[in-house]
Amino acid sequence: MPARRGLRALKAWRYVGIYGPELMICIGTVRIGPARQAFWALWDRGSSLLYERTVLGRGTVRLEPGRARVADGRVELDIELDETDGIETICPSGGSYAWTRKQGGIRAHGAIAIDGRLRPLDARAVIDDSAGYHERSVSWRWSAGVGAADDGRLVAWNLVSGINDPPHDSERTIWVDGEASEVGPNTFADDLAGIGFAEGGELRFQSEAERVHSDNMGLVRSAYRQPFGTFTGRLPGGIDLSHGFGVMEQHDVRW
């Protein structure tokens, strides 16, 4: 995709979220025109400690197809990602468009080190690749997670309101044992405590730790919060969750 389309600069990002009962991790790189930013966070549920960093440029984050690495002081990550084709869609954004590809419930495996203590990792992940010529001001709410149904089927989800969310051919997706299905529009609670579905059903969210980041760089301003936590409730199709792990997100940006 060209760096500009008319007066709109290209915005693009890759986000890897790995969610499990012991650790939850997010790693990302962002591009807004010529500017670059990278971030990572690790929520250790056993010790109730959150490690994180956000930097201009790419810092110590290395994301490539099939692999995510971070080497940043107290935390080192080297994770292999069993990537798939995922789902892709192109959605309108004002008078322009945005592309996105989502992969849900893929295996993430490797090792992490916290303060020199090595720990194996074998969990499931959601990957978000997005690029587009978005409107000047955008506000969205988003959720990604993995879990299992009461009947043992593996589930994952990518849910959103405010971006890439037309009534049809949106990025809203639920995966059940690896099979992807689009769901109707989502309704997010103002406090990010839950998500309702047009088809019926609701996810309830219990926050455990939260990433919060704000930038004001003149032409670009961003206010962002993303809590890690657990999910309960029912997905469309009458799928009752046995357990769920993941994130909620609220992002208001002028770019």
How far does CA 68 lie from the centroid of its chain? 14
**Residue 219 confidence (pLDDT) above 90:** no
**Residue 217 confidence (pLDDT) above 80:** no
Distance CA 47, CA 5 (A): 47
Tell the burial category of 63 from Cβ atoms under 10 Å away from its Cβ (0-12, 13-18, 19+): buried
pLDDT reported for residue 23: 97
Alpha helix positions (H), the chain: none
Find the mean pLDDT for residues 42-52.
Answer: 97
DSSP 45-61: TTTTEEEEEEEES-TTE
Name residue, tokens 């088809």: 199
Residues 57-102 pLDDT 10s: 999 999 999 999 999 989 999 999 999 999 999 999 989 999 999 9
Predicted TM-score (pTM) of the model is 0.96
Of 31-35, 46-50, 215-219, where does the model show the most confidence?
46-50
Tell the burial category of 54 from Cβ atoms under 10 Å away from its Cβ (0-12, 13-18, 19+): middle
Distance CA 221, CA 135 (A): 13
